Structure 1
Amino acid sequence: MDIWQWVHDIDPELRRGGQQQLADLIRRLPAATVDDHHERVDALAPEALALARAAGLPWVEVFVRHWHLQSRVLHRSQGDMALGEAVALVDFAHSEAARGCPQAVCTVQDLAACYSQVDGPGWAPERASVARETLARIDPSWPCFTCISCELAGALREQGDPRASLEFLDVQLKQLVGAGQGRERTSLLPERIACLIELGRIDDALAACQDAVANGRRDESQRRARQIDLARIYARLGRGDDARRHLPVPEDILPTPSHYEPYTDALVHLVRIGARSNDVELGRLLQRFIARLQRNGSHRLPFVIAAAAAELAVGRGSPAVAALHLATMERLAARLRRPGDAPERLARVRLSLETALAAPRQQRPDDPEERLRECIEASVVRPGDAELVRRHAVALLGLDFAREAADLLERHVDAHPDDDDAVTLLEIAYRDADDDDRHRALGERLLASADPVKQRHGRWVAARRLARARDWDASNRHLEHLAGEPGDAVPARLARASNARAQADWPAVLRLLDEALQLQPDLDPGPHDWDRIVAATFLGAWDRVRHSAARLDMALPGDGPIDERWELCRIRVEHPSGKMQELYATRTGPVTARLLQISRIDQPQRLFDQVVFDPRPLGSHQDDEDRPVYLYAELGPLQRAGYRAFSVDGVHPGEGPIAVLRRVVQSLRGSFQVQSGDRYRVTSPAGDEKPGLYAFVAFAPDADLRAASDALATSVADFADPLVWPELAEAAGDQPRAEQHRELARAWAL
């Protein structure tokens, strides 16, 4: 059964009925989910849900709520905090209002996965039971057959029987092949890889992972998951360089907690083989994983990571950090539905900690973990010492133990309410712990004080908290009040400018930053100058661009628009579909770049667009000459080039003929860029396999596409095997050639 068919069918119905926005949201939600753009999911889902309810479309409501839960549960590992919605959605999907909805089965998977996030081994029997009951009602023709099969396989593995899980996957694979659905086998590979790793069959795991990379899903979440699996596998094989090469950078996986446990496993094994340092940065990263999972209402996953983090802390001589992880494990163990191996893990960590505490102390005066240990020891001798409490809290915050810092500071502030420095630290702790309830209560308590100084502090607390919650109007009301105070006039304007920047309100950004500099001309250069450059660039205020650039020691001679040729960079763009793409570009100014790479051809073309980017790099890599190539996020287009792009597909004619094709396209004011690699193969109608070529061609908006298509046809006329460009031929108005190329594409299975 094609449970997606009704989604495809309803799209044109919605558009004919004037519901274009709902149709777009239905299309964008799944893409944003599988590409790990979860902030976007949270922004899209409420609007889509409201539109679905207003239109009286319960099936669409199920669809929207299901995909929001997919993001929250399968990707962000939300357990307790999503459980109520998961139960409610199952009830709604099986109610009279949504009778017959094909995706009611998907809501069962959401609930089973949610139980797994709370405590995988603890809920494994129930998860296995509901998966078996669901599989009894469907067959391999259902797309959710593989999803529910993986739920059951995962439950068997979490019950401690990866061999049974693997045998079950083999049975399901045979069913798929027998039903003519063998192409869906790749959906079973992630769970198979997990089982093989757990069984120690590392070579088999590597083969399965390479199969998944070559033939499985290509969305961002799956791509990252398989890269992490490759890192885990190579580390176990002792191939540290290969493991490090495949392991994503932490910034790419932090938004998606479902990656945390396998990522931790990869790191642990890299440390074991000496391919990664067991250092404070590693400890900070793992603590961020643990804290995020705890906030999400997951219990078993942060317990497992805390156990690994504690052992690593002991290994680097940091028993104070290990003790904090042990305390976390004890809290989490009390919330597990079934203990499983938790008591044994706790016992091992306790023994390791006792051994570490008895070992000779290492002298590490500049080590932040050692400073924490010193604060803890001093607190025993000087309990209640205000300065020591603040130092202790700063040490905890520096190691990402924000919850522990908040608890410490709360006790101190309750006893010393006039310790303003401690109150400031407490706000930072609430912010870093993402504890909105206690953050709000702190602001309200300060605002209710009769002390004007505390009221002022309360306004700042409230303004910052509301900005984090994206309640811009409420935040700005507090900031407007603060801007009237001489001491707060400039900081309040800078904060309001930051709010305006988040809303892409560039006129407001420029106005507020101009005011701040007029009020305080000697204001130290900083991020506000970069924000001013961005806003002024969008608005064409080139005098302000040059002024802030000069404040940042960046000399920009001349006047008027800045369009120079600086270094190579990459720009992360977002297409109308919500898909992201990273494109090579030439930087043309402080915050501008011209895109050099042909972008996706199923979206409006971006080649040679000039864009404004966020000057804060997202990352970098080294080019062939060991120079950094920085990656930036696009903030918006400055000038559209309007190019149109098409694909060229077929048999690789050799490098010489490709060079000729490139020159032909360039002579017509176009660009020819090869997309395929050495592994691309095509098969002739006779069954012969040959090297393939897949390329993009792009032309200026006023280019003569008929002349371009004819010129390409002339260039390939003597080729032994075909190259085809049916979309270009059709856009050129050459229907006979377009149909001829489609026939060739079908014959060669292009």
Structure 2
Amino acid sequence: MDVDIWAWVGDTQRQLYEAGNAGLALALGDLPAQALEGRYAQLDVMAPAVAQQAGVAGQPWLEFFARYWHLIGRIGDRAQGEVALEDARALVEFARRDEVRDCPAAPAAVEALAIALANTDGPRYAAERLAVLGTALDGMGPDSPAYTGLTTQYILALLDAGTAQEAVAYSRSVTERLRAAEKAASWELAAAGVRALLAVGAAEDALALLDEATAFKPDDPVAKERRERLLRARVLTALNRLDEAVEALPDLDVIDGHPRDWVEWAQVVDRLGFHGKITNSWQLGRVLRQWADYFATMGGHRARVEVLVAAAALAIGRQGVWQARLLVEDAAEGLRRLEKAESLAEEVEVLRQRAEQATPPKAPAPRNELVGAFDAADGITADPERWVEWLWPLSGEDLAATRRHTTTLGFLGYPAVGADIYWRMIVENGDPATADAEDIGYLTSLLLDAGQDEKVERLAERLPAGPAHLARARLHRRRERWEETAREAEAAVEAGIGMDARRLWAGAVQQLGDNAKAAGIIKDVLDSPEIEDEDVWRMIVMATIAEDWATVRTGAAKLGMPLQSTEGPIEEEWHLIRAVLPAPDGSRREVLALRTGPATARLLVAQPRGVDYNVNDIVVIDPTPLEPVPEDEQERERFIIPFAAVAMLRSAGYTSWFFDGAAPSEQEWVEFNQVLDERGWAIWVYSDDDYTVTHPGTGERLPGVYGWVAVPPNVTPREVDALLDDATERWTHPLAWLDLAREVGIEVERHERIVKEYGL
């Protein structure tokens, strides 16, 4: 079916709306935006839900669309590799089904598979990519909406296959075919051509093409500016126009959230760092280490090695000798997962030799004074990379040095290295049963960060009962095994371990749903010198959820917080807040609320249908502000503090109904609100001042208004319909409440006509 995919999306949305499935229609339109804008928390919730609903409803095209955009959200900017391969192959198989293959988006499944294969190891899978892309392109012309995406991936596959000249020729032929068909090339297609030209050493031509492509429409408009700047920096670096490259290069804080761009950015920075054009700092090294670890988790095997290579070269440049050597070792290990990696292996070997020959900076103090010098160093300006180098000769021998050295290694992204040193000192060469609790805690944390759970178990076997239970509780807590955490933490408390164990115990019991018991675990030691304000607040929140108001009052008294009442529920009027609550699509919503107690707030705004809360509901809040209070006095006066809502305490049971139409006069609107307010109903306008509707007679634009009316549980839909009808019957233009009309079966056609005539 040779139709534009977005036309199909629009048609499908209209069909879903007409069938009364407005939620699914809205979700369908928003999935691409979620994938491209990086709203992954929403995408990871909504896309599987839409796919499941589509499957149940017998809508295979819609199911494909949802699965495709979810996959793009994973393999696109998030650059997932091997972890996404199975899903990518499954999507291709799904697209080949009889009921799906005619979907205009179906060929895009092959494009997604090619991306996932490239993310895993481009050269290894180059032949497979060329084969599947070639099959998909066979007989396809520039008129197909899938053409530019597939040909873009074909160029990149040719590059990974080592046939750069062929990639250049193919890129030019595709551009000519598009031009002959009067179709535009995408920016991504041109960018692939730029990379092909760079691969054959034609950097000037690459820059000219990149300049020409600036006006091209991108497939991913959100990423275009960032990716164009990065590619320009790469081209300018190849031309040795380094100052211009630095100016073009996106900052680290811009690129850090976009794994797809990390390898290219690291390679450009490596080159610029070699020429002294960028700040080559330990912070940069720490970030690159995190990137490499991310690719290891996502199965981006070649990307991991490429980042490690760049990180090692930069480490050598700043005399981070120990780090360079470890990075080279990791890169060499990573090479074993790759195929067709000869040139990369040569780079690793060169770096190995450079790292072995490199000389670290001189220590700032004699060996026996290094620990004191470390403690005296300025925590803001000190270079932790260098301190790791300087403390290394003492680490594993001197306990104080070992503590500082290994924990700094963990901070810089090398917990396994730190854990090995600590393990040898505490476990292999010592007796952990007699070790200081602080050392057992540090070692346990390093082992957990390194994923060495088995060693935590072995460590626990050699500890006395209390520390053993505490170590196991920490292990289970890290892996979110709540029943085991509670059991081990309780045993640790019984064996004499203090607040560390109680915090773990209370947290696990809360996760298991028993807030009253969890609050009691903290309350039992409220007078302990180990108790902290944060513990008291946690107790207050848990007791509030359990509606244990006596315990809430005890906690408030402990914090010196005056309350007006002495018994029963705490329902006071404190101050306005922004309650941050979950939305059905996985995002967060801010709702204006009135704080009514230490950890409670009453929502003040009518909410749309489909959310689990509404006006006058009482929610439990985490009393930790989500944003700092402004220092400026005027800003502080206007500032409404946001708090995360963590539980529903008491629902008022309100139901919301949507209204839409031309805005009435100001006086009519005031009277309308008064009528609703007299009955205890709530109304909230969600439209802004720019919202307009169409006059059905003249076609002129009229100010519009839409929002939700929320009514108490004792009000029937028929009563709502009757009141809205009476309250608006004299308005110049009618208001529509189509969903409510359908619910009660009254004047449905009239409301449908209003929606159509006014373009609502």
TM-score by shorter chain over 0.5? yes
Structure 1 residue 536, shift from structure 2 partner: 1.6
CA change 1:351–1:424 in 2 (3 A) is same
Contact 1:709 1:728 (C-alpha < 8 Å) held by counterparts: no
Q: CA RMSD for the aligned pairs?
A: 6.2
Q: Residue 389 of structure 1 is aligned with which of 358, 382, 402?
A: 402
Q: Residue 508 of structure 2 is aligned with which of 486, 490, 499?
A: 499
Letter in 1 for 2:565: G
- Select between 126-135 and 161-170 the one with higher mean Cα deviation: 161-170
SS at match of 2:299: coil
Structure 1 residue 298, shift from structure 2 partner: 1.9
Contact 1:648 1:694 (C-alpha < 8 Å) held by counterparts: yes
Q: Residue 535 of structure 1 is aligned with which of 516, 538, 542?
A: 542
Q: Residue 427 of structure 1 is aligned with which of 444, 462, 475?
A: 444
CA change 1:38–1:477 in 2 (3 A) is farther
Whether 1:399 aligns to 2:412 is yes
Structure 1 residue 644, shift from structure 2 partner: 0.9
Whether 1:609 aligns to 2:617 is yes
Letter in 1 for 2:519: L
Q: For the residues of structure 1 that align with 2:700 and 2:175, how far apart are their CA atoms?
A: 30
Whether 1:461 aligns to 2:471 is yes
Q: For the residues of structure 1 that align with 2:325 and 2:552, how far apart are their CA atoms?
A: 51
Structure 1 residue 395, shift from structure 2 partner: 1.0
Contact 1:643 1:699 (C-alpha < 8 Å) held by counterparts: yes
SS at match of 1:561: coil
Contact 2:395 2:405 (C-alpha < 8 Å) held by counterparts: no
Contact 1:193 1:208 (C-alpha < 8 Å) held by counterparts: no
Q: For the residues of structure 2 that align with 1:32 and 1:90, how far apart are their CA atoms?
A: 19
CA change 1:349–1:506 in 2 (3 A) is same
Q: How does 1:67-146 map to 2 (within 5 A)?
A: 77-80=79-82, 85=86, 89=90, 111-120=113-122, 122-136=124-138
Contact 1:581 1:599 (C-alpha < 8 Å) held by counterparts: no
Letter in 1 for 2:724: A
SS at match of 1:465: helix
Contact 1:620 1:631 (C-alpha < 8 Å) held by counterparts: no
Q: For the residues of structure 2 that align with 1:445 and 1:521, how far apart are their CA atoms?
A: 32
Q: For the residues of structure 1 that align with 2:192 and 2:666, how far apart are their CA atoms?
A: 45
Q: Residue 366 of structure 1 is aligned with which of 358, 368, 378?
A: 378
* Corresponding residue for residue 24 of structure 2: none
Structure 1 residue 580, shift from structure 2 partner: 4.2
* Corresponding residue for residue 564 of structure 1: 573
Structure 1 residue 711, shift from structure 2 partner: 4.0
SS at match of 1:467: helix
* Corresponding residue for residue 220 of structure 1: none
Structure 1 residue 535, shift from structure 2 partner: 1.6
SS at match of 1:509: helix
Q: For the residues of structure 1 that align with 2:593 and 2:271, how far apart are their CA atoms?
A: 37
* Corresponding residue for residue 635 of structure 1: 646
SS at match of 1:634: strand
The one-character-per-residue Cα deviations of 1:700-728 (angstroms, maximum 9, x if unpaired) are 334734433554564443xxxx9765445
* Corresponding residue for residue 508 of structure 1: 517
Whether 1:644 aligns to 2:648 is no
Structure 1 residue 270, shift from structure 2 partner: 14
Letter in 1 for 2:548: A
CA change 1:592–1:347 in 2 (3 A) is farther
TM-score, normalized by length of structure 2?
A: 0.67
Q: Residue 673 of structure 1 is aligned with which of 664, 674, 685?
A: 685
Matched positions, count: 679
* Corresponding residue for residue 704 of structure 1: 720
Contact 2:621 2:646 (C-alpha < 8 Å) held by counterparts: yes
SS at match of 2:620: strand
Whether 1:482 aligns to 2:492 is yes
Whether 1:743 aligns to 2:756 is yes
Q: For the residues of structure 2 that align with 1:726 and 1:294, how far apart are their CA atoms?
A: 52
SS at match of 1:635: strand
Contact 1:32 1:40 (C-alpha < 8 Å) held by counterparts: no
Contact 2:467 2:497 (C-alpha < 8 Å) held by counterparts: no
Q: For the residues of structure 1 that align with 2:95 and 2:216, how far apart are their CA atoms?
A: 37
The one-character-per-residue Cα deviations of 1:158-214 (angstroms, maximum 9, x if unpaired) are 677997897798799899999xxx9xx9xx77777888899667788776689966x
Q: For the residues of structure 2 that align with 1:165 and 1:585, how far apart are their CA atoms?
A: 60
CA change 1:631–1:77 in 2 (3 A) is farther
* Corresponding residue for residue 218 of structure 1: none
Structure 1 residue 70, shift from structure 2 partner: 6.8
Q: How does 1:260-339 map to 2 (within 5 A)?
A: 284-306=286-308, 325=327, 328-333=330-335, 335-339=337-341
User: % of aligned pairs identical?
Assistant: 25
Q: How does 1:681-696 map to 2 (within 5 A)?
A: 693=704, 695-696=706-707
The one-character-per-residue Cα deviations of 1:237-271 (angstroms, maximum 9, x if unpaired) are 999999899959x7xx5xx8558668989999999
Structure 1 residue 741, shift from structure 2 partner: 1.2
Q: For the residues of structure 1 that align with 2:618 and 2:131, how far apart are their CA atoms?
A: 56
Q: Residue 41 of structure 2 is aligned with which of 33, 37, 45?
A: 37
Letter in 2 for 1:644: S
Contact 1:442 1:458 (C-alpha < 8 Å) held by counterparts: no
* Corresponding residue for residue 376 of structure 1: 389
Q: For the residues of structure 2 that align with 1:567 and 1:279, how far apart are their CA atoms?
A: 44
SS at match of 2:601: strand
Letter in 1 for 2:449: D
Q: For the residues of structure 2 that align with 1:417 and 1:64, how far apart are their CA atoms?
A: 57
- Select between 476-485 and 334-343 the one with higher mean Cα deviation: 334-343
CA change 1:356–1:483 in 2 (3 A) is same
The one-character-per-residue Cα deviations of 1:557-601 (angstroms, maximum 9, x if unpaired) are 4333144342543513232x6554344545444333344555455
Structure 1 residue 609, shift from structure 2 partner: 3.5
Contact 1:445 1:458 (C-alpha < 8 Å) held by counterparts: no
Structure 1 residue 30, shift from structure 2 partner: 11
Q: For the residues of structure 2 that align with 1:360 and 1:659, how far apart are their CA atoms?
A: 77
Q: For the residues of structure 2 that align with 1:514 and 1:317, how far apart are their CA atoms?
A: 52
CA change 1:151–1:369 in 2 (3 A) is farther
Contact 1:87 1:111 (C-alpha < 8 Å) held by counterparts: yes
CA change 1:228–1:139 in 2 (3 A) is same
Letter in 2 for 1:400: G
Q: For the residues of structure 1 that align with 2:271 and 2:657, how far apart are their CA atoms?
A: 45
The one-character-per-residue Cα deviations of 1:348-397 (angstroms, maximum 9, x if unpaired) are 98899899968899999325862442332343477744443332111112
* Corresponding residue for residue 591 of structure 1: 599
The one-character-per-residue Cα deviations of 1:140-161 (angstroms, maximum 9, x if unpaired) are 9999888766754664676779
SS at match of 2:619: strand
CA change 1:634–1:366 in 2 (3 A) is same
Whether 1:473 aligns to 2:462 is no
Letter in 2 for 1:663: V
Contact 2:155 2:192 (C-alpha < 8 Å) held by counterparts: no
Structure 1 residue 498, shift from structure 2 partner: 0.9
Letter in 2 for 1:551: K
Q: For the residues of structure 2 that align with 1:739 and 1:638, how far apart are their CA atoms?
A: 38
* Corresponding residue for residue 445 of structure 1: 458
Letter in 1 for 2:292: I
- Select between 165-174 and 460-469 the one with higher mean Cα deviation: 165-174
Contact 1:605 1:643 (C-alpha < 8 Å) held by counterparts: no
Q: For the residues of structure 2 that align with 1:662 and 1:243, how far apart are their CA atoms?
A: 50
Q: For the residues of structure 1 that align with 2:751 and 2:337, how far apart are their CA atoms?
A: 64
Letter in 1 for 2:40: D
CA change 1:92–1:708 in 2 (3 A) is closer
SS at match of 2:383: helix
